[in-house]
Amino acid sequence: MPDLLIELFSEEIPARMQKRASEDLQKLVTDGLVEAGLTYAGAAAFATPRRLTLALDGLTAESKPVREERKGPKVGAPDKAIDGFLRGAGVAREDLEVRDDKKGQVYFAVIEKPGRMAADIVAEVLEQAIRNFPWPKSMRWGAGTLKWVRPLHSILCILTDEAGAAIVPLDVDGITSGNTTRGHRFLAPDTFSVVSFDDYEAKLKRAHVVLRPDERAEAIWAEATNQAFALGLEVVEDRGLLAEVAGLVEWPVVLLGKIDDDFLGLPSEVLQTSMKEHQKFFSVRNPKTGRIERFVTVANMETADNGATILAGNQKVLSARLADAKFFWENDLRVAKAGMGPWLESLGNVTFHNKLGSQKDRIERIETWAEKIAPFLNADVELCKEAARVAKADLSSEMVYEFPELQGLMGRYYCKAAGLHDAVAAACQGHYSPLSPIDEVPTVGVVVAVALADKLDILTGFWSINEKPTGSKDPFALRRACLGIIRLELLNHTRLPLLDFFKEMIKGHFDDSELVDASIDDKAKDLLSFFHDRLKVFLKDKGIRHDIIDACIAMPGNDDLTLLVKRAEALAATLATDDGENLIQGFKRANNILTQAEDKDGVEYSYGADIKFAEDVAEKALFAALDAADAKIAPAMESEDFSTAMTAMAALRGPIDQFFTDVQVNAESELIRRNRLNLLSRIRKICLSVADLTKVEG
Partner 1 sequence: MVDKPRSFQEIILRLQAYWAAKGCAILQPYDMEVGAGTFHPATTLRALGSKPWAAAYVQSSRRPTDGRYGENPNRLQHYYQYQVIIKPSPPDLQELYLGSLAAIGIDASMHDIRFVEDDWESPTLGAWGLGWEVWCDGMEVSQFTYFQQVGGHDCKPVSGELTYGLERLAIYILGVDHVMDMPFNDPQTPIPLTYGDVFRQTEQEYARWNFDVADTKILLEHFEHAEAECQRILDMPAHDPKKDMQIIMVHPAYDQCIKASHLFNLLDARGVISVTERQAYIGRVRALAKACADAFVQTDAGGAVA
Give the range of 107-115, 134-142, 225-233, 685-693 binding partner 1 by CB under 8 A: 134-142
Q: Which stretch binds partner 1 (CB under 8 A): 24-32, 136-144, 365-373, 608-616?
A: 136-144
Amino acid at 612: K
334 vs 493 by CB, closer to partner 1: 334
DSSP letter (8 states) at residue 275: I
Cα–Cα distance between 691 and 574 in angstroms, integer? 12
Residue with smaller CB distance to partner 1, 346 or 689: 346
Q: Is 14 in the site for partner 1 (CB under 8 A)?
A: yes
- Indicate the residue among 223 and 533 with the shorter CB distance to partner 1: 223
CB-based contacts of 291: which residues, under 8 Å, 6+ apart?
Answer: 264, 268, 285
Name the residue nearer to partner 1 (CB basis): 153 or 532. 153
Touching partner 1, residues 145-174 (CB under 8 A): 149-151, 153
Cβ of 408: how many Cβ atoms within 10 Å? 20
Q: If binding is defined by CB under 8 A, does position 314 make contact with partner 1? A: yes
Window 244 to 263, contacts with partner 1 (CB under 8 A)? 248-249, 253
Where in 15-44 is the site for partner 1 (CB under 8 A)?
15-16
Residue 80 CB burial class (10 angstroms; 0-12, 13-18, ≥19): exposed
> Nearer to partner 1 by C-beta: 330 or 439?
330
Told to check if 62 binds partner 1 by CB under 8 A, we report no
Q: Does 540 participate in binding partner 1 (rule CB under 8 A)?
A: no
User: Using an 8 Å Cβ cutoff, are 293 and 233 in contact?
Assistant: yes
Compose the 463-482 pattern: x for residues touching partner 1 by CB under 8 A, - for all others: --------------------
Complex with partner 1: residue 171 or 662, whichever CB lies closer: 171
Beta strands in 96-174, from DSSP E residues, in sequence order? 97-101, 104-113, 152-161, 164-167, 171-172
Is position 582 an interface residue for partner 1 (rule: CB under 8 A)? no
Q: Is residue 11 part of the contact set for partner 1 (CB under 8 A)?
A: yes
**To the nearest 5 percent, what fractions of the chain are helix, strand and coil?**
55, 15, 30
Q: Does 279 bind partner 1 (CB under 8 A)?
A: yes
d(CA 207, CA 571): 69
Instruction: Output 350 or 576, the one with its CB closest to partner 1.
Output: 350
Selected from 66, 350, 576, 624, the binder of partner 1 by CB under 8 A is 350
CB atoms within 10 A of CB 94: 5
Contacts with partner 1 in 322-341 (CB under 8 A)?
323-324, 327
Q: Determine, following the binding rule CB under 8 A, whether residue 319 of this chain makes contact with partner 1.
A: yes
> Binding segment for partner 1 among 28-36, 135-143, 458-466, 625-633 (CB under 8 A)?
135-143
* Contact with partner 1 (CB under 8 A) among 92, 163, 320, 516: 320
SS3 230: helix
What is the Cα gyration radius of the chain?
A: 37
Running DSSP on this structure, what letter comes out for residue 190? Answer: S
227 lies in the site for partner 1, by CB under 8 A: no
Distance CA 333, CA 414 (A): 6
C-alpha torsion angle, residues 678, 683, 685, 689 (rounded to 10): 170
Q: Is 442 helix (H, G, I), strand (E, B) or coil?
A: coil
Amino acid letter at 177?
S
Return the range that interacts with partner 1 (CB under 8 A); candidates 9-17, 25-33, 116-124, 524-532: 9-17
Q: 49, 213, 484, 586: which one contacts partner 1 (CB under 8 A)?
A: 49
Residue among 97, 141, 222, 237 that touches partner 1 (CB under 8 A): 141
Among 80, 102, 137, 612, binds partner 1 (CB under 8 A): 137
Q: How many other CB atoms sit within 10 Å of the CB of residue 600?
A: 8
Contact of 196 with 3, CB cutoff 8 Å:
yes
Residue 494 — φ and ψ, nearest 5°?
A: -80, 140
Q: Closer to partner 1 at the Cβ: 11 or 198?
A: 11
303 vs 644, beta carbon nearer partner 1: 303
| Piece of the chain touching partner 1 by CB under 8 A; list 124-132, 196-204, 318-326, 481-489 | 318-326
Q: Stretches 131-139, 195-203, 586-594, 683-691: which one binds partner 1 (CB under 8 A)?
A: 131-139
Q: How many residues does the chain have?
A: 698
- CA 306-311-314 angle, to 5 degrees, is 155
One-letter amino acid for residue 333 of the chain: L
Could you tell me which stretch among 232-240, 346-354, 516-524, 588-596 binds partner 1 (CB under 8 A)? Answer: 346-354
CB neighbours of 149 closer than 8 A, spacing ≥ 6? 10, 13, 14, 17, 21, 135, 137, 138, 139
Rounded Cα distance, 11 and 51, in Å: 8
Strand partners, 255: 297
C-beta closer to partner 1: residue 147 or 532? 147
Backbone angles phi, psi at 107, to 5 degrees: -75, 140
Residues that bind partner 1 (CB under 8 A): 11-12, 14-16, 49, 137-144, 149-151, 153, 186, 248-249, 253, 279-281, 297, 299-301, 303-305, 307, 309-314, 316-320, 323-324, 327, 346, 349-351, 354
